[in-house]
Amino acid sequence: MRAVALGDQTTYDAGTLTVSSAEAAALVADPALAEVRVSWASPGDSTRIVKVLDAVEPRTKGPGGGGIFPGFVGPAMPQGRGTTHVLRGTAVVTAGFLPRAQEAVVDMSGPAAPLSPLGTTHNLVVEFAPAPGAAWEAVYEALRNGSLALAARLAEAALGATPDAVEELPGLPDAGDRSLPRVAAITNLQTQGTFKEIFVYGRSFGSIALPTLIDPGDLDDGAVVSGQLGHPSLKNPTWVFQNHPVVAALRARHGVDLLCAGVVLSPEPVDATNKELVSAHAARLCKAAGFDAVIVTKEGGGNADADMALKMDALEELGIPTVALYAEMAGADGTGPSIVVPPTKATAMVSTGNYDERLSLPAMERALGGDRVDVAAATALDAFELPAAVVYASLSPLGWGHLTCQEAS
Amino acid sequence: MTTRVVHYINQFFAGLGGEDTATVPPASKAGAAGPGRKLAQLLGDDFEIVATVWCGDDHAAGPEVMDDLLALVRAAGPDVVVTGPAFTSGRYGLACARVAAAAAAEGIAAVACMHPDNPGIDEAGTAPVVASGEVARQMGPSLETLAAAVRKVAAGEPLGADDGRVGKIPRRNVTVDRTSAERAVALVLARLGGDREATEVPLPRFDQVTPAQPVTDVTTALVALVTEGALVPDANPDSLESARATRWLRYSLDGRDVLPAGEFRSVHGGFSTVWANEDPHRIVPLDAARQLEAEGAIGKLHGEYLVTAGNGTSVGNARRFGVEWAADLRRQGVQAALLTAT
């Protein structure tokens, strides 16, 4: 997308997306919402989005092909086949106060902009006022359903246009194909109940569900949707699940030096016994599936480190080399221990940066999502200092970002 | 020119006594004292220990005395500040680390010395730490390591593992060309190629906590309630953080038999607080503790509870809270603590 605007009708023309505010608000409208407003925030703007809840990339399966976001927009059936139309460089972003949400900030310019996936996209920001007496759960559900419907609608606006780029994505390799190492992704999903859950085919993934194998193509079509409001920098927004960076990196090497062999979705139970069960089971599943190596990712803070450590160890015990993506929690000065729960048998870890290191954000001319940033005791327009932990998806557990940690010289 | 050294030690090494004098306030004297005499010999004529600063361990572990200690250090006009060796002594190690950190933050060259398992090790900020032995019996070799480190630090040279440097070298966020996911794929290919060493994150080393001896007679013991469950008075008057806590708080239990819903609530950001707020005793079991006190099953309940929020807390801060709680409770004669965690 090269330019965006608001207008009377929702249209796409030669790299410009125009959105009808009235149509967008109507798509999100719900008895739990008293008011819905949309506005654009684009890269380079002097704009700060605060209280960011989720981001969705506009996609559709085409005319009459209601397969996108299965379980929400499309029917709850496996997807990942045929054509998916994508509005690259855009996102539908919900932002505003919800009681269980930790403050999450996106700057559209300045030093924090390149740290968040949303600092690089044209964002249609959906703000809202809850209906009097509406339950917060219903407000959150309305925003989720509405932003998915809106994202699908925006993509439909471009169906008549010639695509700027066409990518052919590899399907799963044949079961017997041993020509190259079969490498899979284990994607741990936060499963702590309402406000801290992830949806798969529209269903909340259970806290003690057993790990399950899915086709990576399902992710492209939005089978995994976020309902998770904790740990802003360590969140996996729907937008990042749709563009699963580990799957993308595996596909980039598919047929060259590895085979992208599948995705295992796994819960992150809250208690140790179930963490151990789920980890042991995930390792067995990977062994049975014939994976030669695995990359493990998480969602959440230190608690979620334990799930990765247990899986890494369980996989290494079965002889499957494993790499995990960890955010470091090394304190503001970077001298504390990096990882809350380290593995004991595995050692190969990628650092997505230090959660606690602080950065200075400049003053902005416009704020969306709210007026204040309480964690910085400041208005949303002020210049202030924050830990990286507050910058939305800046330490992306799924590996979107370019941050890492190095020892100071 | 002689390099002016200020040496920090605790009350024990200053010759004032052991645990019975752990509450002595910060003080200093001219010249070397205790292990400083041997350190001065090892450093030779180019160095002079111009002052020795000390403090009782229970005070030194508290954050409030750091200004006083630093004032005593500054008054002696040091070129280099040296702290320890603290061996594995937690409160002493914490004080050594913090004095070195505070000096370094003021631009004074500093080095601390303690065992790698000392819980204070991560509190040294940007000041380097060199390894001591585990116990004071190993004073000799520990001081030799320290003296060599002091010479290097005074000369502005960096300390490395060969100098006995332990603890963390600060890790800073940097931006690199490839995404984390791309680097993970490169790392997995390296592993498949037989490389078992490659990693971006060195494995952290955690100390093992030896449990305290059992309480001899709990029916006479003073027992404290402590929690990471972030239970605070309803208005959260001291603004306890719901995540990434940097401090802990204390609230009085004197004259209280219950913690009513509506008067107390949990501000913890890591779990749904509905059930905690419905009955705050689920986080701080004052009701049951008062009953045990009335029955004589415990001697007496301590007059306040200590609280922080354990959610996204750095290991360094969590460890510091533990050491500070232990010192605080010891100072007040508490013999046992019940830690409720969420």
CA distance A160 to A173: 33
* Omega before residue A211 within 30° of 0, cis: no
Please name the helix (run of DSSP H) or strand (run of DSSP E) that holds residue B222, with its range, or none.
strand B222-227
Tally A–B CB contacts below 8 A. 208
Question: How far, in Å, CA of B102 to CA of B120, rounded?
Answer: 14
Interchain pair B314, A330: CB under 8 A? yes
What residues contact A357, with CB distance under 8 A and at least 6 apart? A330, A332, A334, A387, A388, B172, B173
pLDDT confidence of residue A96 = 98
pLDDT above 60: residue A409? no
Backbone φ and ψ of B236, nearest 5°? 45, 60
A332 touches A375 (CB < 8 A): no
Would you state the structure tokens that stand for residue B104, as one six-digit string?
């370094």
Least confident of A135-139, A343-347, A375-379, B174-178: A343-347
pLDDT of the residue at A244: 98
Tell me: ipTM over 0.95.
yes
Over residues B27-44, the pLDDT tens digits come to 999 999 999 999 999 999
Of residues B85 and B210, more confidently modeled? B85
Answer with the residue of higher pLDDT: B168 or A304.
A304
Smallest CA–CA distance from A302 into chain B, residue: B312
Q: Is the pLDDT of residue B64 over 80?
A: no
Omega before B85 within 30 of 0, i.e. cis = yes
Q: CB neighbours (10 Å) of residue A317?
A: 12
Read off the pLDDT of residues A17-53 as tens digits, 9 standing for 90 and up. Answer: 999 999 999 999 999 999 999 999 999 999 999 999 9
Q: Identify residue A381 by its one-letter amino acid code.
A: L
Cα–Cα distances in angstroms (integers) from residue A165 to residues A79, A85, B158, B183, in the given order: 21, 10, 52, 25
> Which of B64-95 are b and which e, b meaning 16 or more Cβ less than 10 Å from the residue's Cβ?
ebbeebbebbeebebbbbbbbbbbbbbbbbbb
Q: Which two tokens stand for residue A247?
A: 């799957």
Q: How many CB atoms lie within 10 A of CB A262?
A: 24
Distance, in Å, from the CA atom of A109 to the CA atom of A107, rounded to the nearest integer, reads 5
Binned at pLDDT 50, 70 and 90, residue A315 comes out as: very high
* Residues B38 and B47 sit within 8 Å (Cβ to Cβ): no
Q: Above pLDDT 90, what percent of chain A?
A: 89
Q: For residue A255, what is the DSSP state?
A: T
Report the percent of chain B where pLDDT is more than 90. Answer: 73
Q: What is the mean pLDDT of chain B?
A: 92
Residue closest to A391 by CA, chosen among A66, A88, A62, A117: A117
Q: How far is B253 from chain A (nearest CA, A)?
A: 29
Residue B206 is predicted with a pLDDT of 65
> Is the CB of residue A116 less than 8 Å from the CB of residue A106?
yes
State whether residue A215 sits within 8 Å of chain B by CB. no
Residue A129 backbone class (left: φ over 0; alpha: ψ -120 to 50; beta: rest)? beta
* Mean pLDDT lowest among A45-54, A289-298, B56-65, B332-341: B56-65
Averaged over B159-184, what is the pLDDT?
Answer: 91
- Integer angstrom CA distances of residue A196 from A193, A364, B272: 5, 30, 10
**Quick one: DSSP state of residue A213?**
E
CA quadruple A203, A206, A211, A217: dihedral, nearest 10: 20
Encode burial over A100-119: b for 16+ CB neighbours within 10 A, e otherwise: bbbbbbbbbbbebbbbbbbb
Q: Which of A320-329, A346-355, B167-176 has the lowest mean pLDDT?
A: B167-176
Scanning B251-270 for CB atoms below 8 A from A yields 269-270
Q: Do B188 and A352 touch (CB under 8 A)?
A: no
Average of pLDDT values for B271-284? 92
Instruction: Please say if the pLDDT value at position B190 is more than 80.
Output: yes
Q: Tell if the CB–CB gap between B196 and A347 is shorter than 8 Å.
A: yes
Whether residue B273 is predicted with pLDDT greater than 70 in this model: the reply is yes
Q: What is the mean pLDDT of chain A?
A: 95
What per-residue confidence (pLDDT) applies to B61? Answer: 67
In residues, how long is chain B? 342
Chain A contacts of B171, Cβ < 8 Å? 328, 330, 334-335, 338, 354, 405-408
List, in sequence order, every residue forming a beta bridge with B173; answer none if it has no partner. Answer: A405
CA proximity to A84, closest of A217, A202, A225: A217
Q: Where are the domains of chain A?
A: 3-156, 182-361
Rounded average pLDDT over A294-300: 97
- The whole-number pLDDT of residue B287 equals 97
Structure tokens at A123: 């964002």
Instruction: Give the pLDDT confidence score for residue B202 in this predicted structure.
Output: 83
In the predicted structure, residue B214 carries a pLDDT above the cut 80: yes
What does the radius of gyration of chain B's CA atoms come to, in whole angstroms?
23
pLDDT at B207: 65
**Mean pLDDT calculated for residue range A206-232:** 94
Mean pLDDT lowest for which of A204-208, B49-53, B127-131? A204-208
* DSSP code of residue B142: H
Of B168, B244, B269, the CB nearest to A335: B168
Band of the pLDDT at A335, cuts 50, 70, 90? confident
In this predicted structure, the answer to whether residue B169 has a pLDDT above a threshold of 90 is no
A220 pLDDT exceeds 80? Answer: yes
Distance separating the N- and C-terminal Cα atoms of chain A: 41
Q: With bands split at pLDDT 50, 70 and 90, how would you rate the model's confidence at B314?
A: confident
Residue B62 has pLDDT above 80, yes or no: no
Q: CA B145 to CA B161: how far, in whole Å?
A: 12
Given a contact cutoff of 8 angstroms between Cβ atoms, the answer to whether B300 and B223 are in contact is yes
Q: Which domains does chain B have, with CATH numbers?
A: 3-166 (3.40.50.2300), 218-340 (no CATH)
DSSP 8-class letter at A380 = T
- In this prediction, residue B27 carries a pLDDT of 94
Q: What is the dihedral of CA A79, A81, A83, A84, to 10 degrees?
A: 30
Residues A151-170 have pLDDT tens digits of 999 999 999 999 999 999 99
In angstroms, rounded to a whole number, what is the distance separating the alpha carbons of residues B267 and B242? 5
Angle at B311 between CA A227 and CA A279, to 5 degrees: 65
Mean pLDDT throughout A377-404? Answer: 97
Indicate the pairing of strand A403-407 with strand B171-175. Answer: antiparallel
Confidence of residue A3 (pLDDT cuts 50, 70, 90): very high
Question: What is the model's pLDDT at position A117?
Answer: 98
Tokens (6 digits) for B334: 């508490």
- Rounded to an integer, the average pLDDT of B230-258 is 94
User: Looking at residue A168, what DSSP letter applies?
Assistant: P
pLDDT of res. A330: 87
Q: Looking at the complex, report in whole angstroms how far the Cα of residue B160 sits from the nearest Cα belonging to chain A.
A: 11
User: What class has domain A182-361?
Assistant: alpha beta
Contacts of residue A195 in chain B, CB cutoff 8 Å? 272
